[in-house]
């Protein structure tokens, strides 16, 4: 499966460098000279990195097939991808969102829902859990609350603090979310 890692922004200078919007946690290890990326649109690639440097907190990349600003302008907005099957398994505690989607969510032996998404936040990530009654609950993606992920058997084990999965329930409405604004 392909994983989006960056989007090429505006050209920088006259030698074909780009500003880059980074979508990876490890840009220093990902964007190194010689690294090759698939692109979207596919006709714009593949692109091979020749230079990578930081300028005022912005990553600047140069590519083998981009020699000047005019060519860089043509590629502006191109997305860069890596094949996750080819990535090294160096981090045993890391998962990609596509690996988690659809996994059963269990508390003990009871299935309480499925993983519907992963929201990346500055402080910590949140698992989006679609409960068996159709609600979405955000669960902090930390080891204390999500101690086990078993991709082979297809489940995520939760040890939620009391009330986490019941947040925003209104007992007067038989378990439905509170009503109010926007209703007639």
**Nearby residues of 145 by Cβ (< 8 Å), 6 or more positions away:** 139, 158, 159, 160, 161, 164
What is the structure's pLDDT at 104? 93
CA distances from 71 to 22, 75, 130 (A): 21, 7, 45
Residue in 113, 5, 121 with CA at minimum distance from that of residue 61: 5
Distance from CA of residue 136 to its chain's centroid?
18
> Worst-scoring range by mean pLDDT, 15-19, 22-26, 63-67, 143-147?
22-26
pLDDT tier at 165 (50, 70, 90 boundaries)?
confident
Residue in 109, 107, 100 with CA at minimum distance from that of residue 159: 107
- Whole-angstrom distance, CA of residue 146 vs CA of residue 154: 14
CATH class for the domain made up of 100-168: mainly beta
What is the structure's pLDDT at 122? 67
The mean of the pLDDT values for the chain is: 82
The residue ranges of every structural domain in the chain are 2-86, 100-168
154: left (phi over 0), alpha (psi -120 to 50) or beta: left
pLDDT tier at 28 (50, 70, 90 boundaries)?
confident
Domains 2-86 and 100-168 share a fold: no
**Average confidence (pLDDT) over 141-164:** 90
CA dihedral 10, 16, 21, 24 (to 10 degrees): 170
Q: Are strands 136-140 and 2-12 parallel, antiparallel or unpaired?
A: unpaired
What is the structure's pLDDT at 120? 74
Token digits for 83? 């094949």
Multiple choice CATH, 2-86, 3.30.70.60, 3.40.50.2300, 2.40.30.60, 3.30.70.20? 2.40.30.60
pLDDT above 50 (res 90): no
Cis peptide before 2 (omega within 30 of 0): no
Residue 66 contacts residue 49 (beta carbons within 8 Å): no
pLDDT above 50 (res 172): no
Q: Considering only residues 183 and 144, tell me which one the structure prediction assigns the higher pLDDT.
A: 144
């Amino acid at each position: 499966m392909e994983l989006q890692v960056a989007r090429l922004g505006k050209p920088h200078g006259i030698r074909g460098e780009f500003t880059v919007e980074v979508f990876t946690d490890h840009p220093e290890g990902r964007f190194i000279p010689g690294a090759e990326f698939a692109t979207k649109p596919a006709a714009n690639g593949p692109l091979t990195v020749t230079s990578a440097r930081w300028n005022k907190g912005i990553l600047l990349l140069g590519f083998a097939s981009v020699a000047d600003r005019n060519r860089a302008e043509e590629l502006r907005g191109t997305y860069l991808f890596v094949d996750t099957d080819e990535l090294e398994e160096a981090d045993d505690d890391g998962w990609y969102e596509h690996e988690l989607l659809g996994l059963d969510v269990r508390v003990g032996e009871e299935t309480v829902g499925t993983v519907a998404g992963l929201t990346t936040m500055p402080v910590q990530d949140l698992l989006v859990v679609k409960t068996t009654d159709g609600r979405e609950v955000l669960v902090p993606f930390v080891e204390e609350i999500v101690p086990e992920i078993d991709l082979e058997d297809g489940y995520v084990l939760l040890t939620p603090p009391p009330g986490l999965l019941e947040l925003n329930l209104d007992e007067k409405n038989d378990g439905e979310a509170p009503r109010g604004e926007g209703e007639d």
